[in-house]
Structure 1
């Protein structure tokens, strides 16, 4: 099993999680982060660090977020989605987007 970044990260991209990751499994896209399932060691230290509760163990992922297992795996290998290992500022309008749902249409690949 691995961990998965869910829809809550879209248009927020808080990076608190990357500071604690011991294996550098996070990848950064234009408006969200994903976890590379081939790199994740299932340690769970990232979960409590996410201010928008966007990270789940795969087996705990809510049913309406299951598509993000495939999205994380796909985007972790996509061109332009590079490893991120140090915290950066969140997106400028992250506070406006952090409590919104149904954001999958906002995902920039």
Structure 2
């Protein structure tokens, strides 16, 4: 099983999770992070670090967010690794509690 970044991360891009990842499995896009399923070791450390609760075990991803499982795998193949914490996006607070943002992902 791997972990999956979901909807809450879109347009927020908190990177607290990156600091605790022992294998550097996070990949960074313009306004979203993903987890590389081939690198994730299922350690669970990132889950507690996400301030917007965007990270789920693959088996626990809510039904309305199942598209994020394949999306993480797809984008992880082309997006660069992120290994250091950065500031969230400038307007992260306005987006933190908005749902249904999959169409807002910039590739």
Counting matched residue pairs gives 107
Tell me the residue number matched to 1:69: 69
Q: Within 5 Å, give how 1:29-44 maps onto structure 2.
A: 29-44=29-44
Gaps in structure 1 of 5+ consecutive residues:
none
Match of 2:102 among 95, 101, 104: 104
List runs of 5+ in structure 2 lacking aligned partners.
none
Q: 4+ residue runs of structure 1 moved beyond 2 angstroms?
A: none
TM-score norm. by structure 2 comes to: 0.99
Quote the offset at 1:6 in angstroms: 0.3
Alignment of 1:39-54 (within 5 A): 39-54=39-54
- The CA RMSD measured in Å over matched residues stands at 0.5
How far apart, in 2, do the equivalents of 1:101 and 1:68 lie?
Answer: 13
- For 2:72 and 2:7, the matched residues in 1 are separated by 10
Q: Tell me how far apart the structure 2 counterparts of residues 35 and 101 of structure 1 sit (CA, whole Å).
A: 20
